[in-house]
């Protein structure tokens, strides 16, 4: 029987053919996404009837989609880190291994944060678009040296953001459910409550997984609690904030600006796109050439290692047959 690896993550194999070549060298027939975009549940389900491993992107993977792969589907290799919309519990109940690549996209997102921050607060996109239409506009903006920069979620991405922010000369404060005081002292980062983070930060960048505990964490009330004239950057998941209230806060001048790479519904077609003080990207924080390569190769390596019964690096394991339960928090 031919082994089939179905790829629904997109892009995949574009920056480099290496991930596809690795899968093929292990004996897989590789089928790439026929849609070249994020799949709907029905589109994914229609592809799974004869699949041994699914290399999935951020598309929803509820139980009814995963059930379309039974009894043959034995492994879902997530290309990236988020597990939201993915019924890992169904996989555990049906013996389907789950792996991911949590470290691979981190640095790409870190660097994107500072592009968004400076592009937004110095109004570079406005100047660019104006010049394209014959307008010469010399906007002024924020010098970030000495300003207070808040990090909501200080894990693998947030910590790297903190180090770079300190190199800019910013005062860095952070909020996280797990505080590493030795690390914070080494890097001159102050842990604060969420209330203090909102009230003190001139800019806040959000780096949280999407879980029951983080859904709508930046609620309408908390967005209004942010310092007047502050900036918000979100590159994690759209569901962590109230988009309707963000629109109001940006329109009435409470917030100076927002830079978003993620949304409740993607592709985004909402009213935030019409505001001049918003910098919008297309869920592309991981999309450096190196970042995509690491994610895609990591997922391919996990697929091949599982096929061969080889050890998969512990930080890439969500659940493998024989484990008592998932190694990370799931919905």
pLDDT digits (tens, 9 = 90+) for 24-81: 999 999 999 999 888 999 999 999 999 999 999 999 999 999 999 999 999 999 999 9
Q: What percentage of the chain exceeds 70 in pLDDT?
A: 100
Average confidence (pLDDT) over 172-179: 97
Q: Which two tokens stand for residue 30?
A: 């590789």
**Predicted confidence (pLDDT) at residue 331 exceeds the cutoff of 80:** no
Which pLDDT value is given to residue 330?
80
CATH topology of domain 3-104+289-319: Rossmann fold (3.40.50)
What is the C-alpha to C-alpha distance for residues 125 and 279, in angstroms, rounded to an integer? 7
Which pLDDT value is given to residue 253?
98
- Give the global pTM: 0.92
Element (H, E) at 175: strand 171-175
Query: If pLDDT is split at 50, 70 and 90, which confidence band does 291 have?
Result: very high
Average confidence (pLDDT) over 258-271: 96
Which of 3, 59, 46, 43 is closest to 26 using CA atoms?
3
Annotated catalytic residues are 237, 266, 283
Strand, helix or coil for residue 301: helix
Task: For the chain, give the mean pLDDT.
Answer: 96
Contacts 24+ apart (CB under 8 A), 312-320: 312/99, 315/102, 315/103, 316/99, 316/100, 316/101, 316/102, 317/99, 318/78, 318/83, 318/88, 318/98, 318/99, 318/100, 319/88, 319/91, 319/92, 319/97, 319/98, 320/97, 320/98, 320/99
Average confidence (pLDDT) over 134-152: 98
Q: Does domain 106-280 have CATH number 3.40.640.10?
A: no
pLDDT digits (tens, 9 = 90+) for 82-117: 898 999 999 999 999 999 999 999 999 999 999 999
**Where in the chain are all domains bearing CATH 3.40.50.720?**
3-104+289-319, 106-280
Q: What is the largest distance, in Å, between two alpha-carbon atoms of the chain?
A: 65
CB 28 within 8 A of CB 4: yes
- In order, the DSSP letters of 3-55 are EEEEE-SSS-SSS-SHHHHHHHHTTEEEE--SSSSPPPHHHHHTT-TT-SEEE
**Predicted confidence (pLDDT) at residue 215 exceeds the cutoff of 90:** yes
pLDDT digits (tens, 9 = 90+) for 187-207: 999 999 999 999 999 999 999
Which of 311, 316, 286, 285 is closest to 299 using CA atoms?
316
Q: Which residue has the higher pLDDT, 37 or 164?
A: 164
């Amino acid at each position: 029987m031919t082994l089939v690896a179905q790829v629904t993550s997109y892009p995949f194999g574009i920056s480099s053919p290496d991930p596809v070549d690795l899968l093929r060298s292990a004996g897989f027939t590789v089928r790439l996404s026929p849609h070249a975009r994020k799949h709907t549940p029905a589109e994914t389900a229609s592809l799974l009837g004869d699949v041994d491993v699914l290399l999935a992107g951020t598309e929803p993977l509820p139980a009814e989609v995963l059930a379309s792969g039974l009894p043959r589907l034995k492994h879902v290799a997530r290309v990236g880190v988020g597990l939201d919309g993915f019924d890992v519990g169904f996989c555990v109940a049906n013996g389907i291994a789950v792996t991911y690549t949590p470290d691979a996209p981190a640095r790409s997102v870190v660097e994107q944060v500072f592009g968004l921050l400076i592009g937004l607060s110095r109004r570079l996109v406005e100047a660019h678009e104006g010049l394209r239409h014959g307008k010469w506009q010399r906007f002024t903006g924020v010098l970030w040296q000495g300003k207070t920069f808040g990090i909501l979620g200080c894990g693998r991405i947030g910590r790297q953001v903190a180090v770079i922010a300190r190199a800019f000369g910013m005062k860095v404060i952070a909020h996280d459910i797990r505080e590493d005081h030795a690390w914070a002292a080494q890097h001159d980062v102050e842990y604060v409550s969420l209330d203090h983070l909102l009230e003190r930060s001139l800019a806040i960048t959000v780096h949280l997984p999407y879980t029951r505990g983080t859904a709508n964490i930046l609620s309408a009330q908390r967005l209004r609690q942010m310092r007047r004239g502050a900036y918000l950057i979100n590159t994690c998941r759209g569901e962590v904030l109230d988009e309707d209230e963000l629109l109001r806060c940006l329109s009435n001048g409470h917030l100076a600006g927002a830079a978003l790479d993620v949304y409740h519904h993607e592709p985004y077609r909402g009213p935030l796109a019409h505001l001049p003080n918003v910098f919008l990207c297309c869920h592309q924080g991981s999309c450096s050439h190196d970042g995509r390569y690491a994610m895609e190769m990591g997922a391919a390596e996990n697929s091949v290692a599982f096929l061969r019964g080889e050890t998969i690096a512990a930080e890439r394991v969500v659940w493998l047959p024989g484990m008592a339960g998932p190694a990370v928090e799931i919905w």
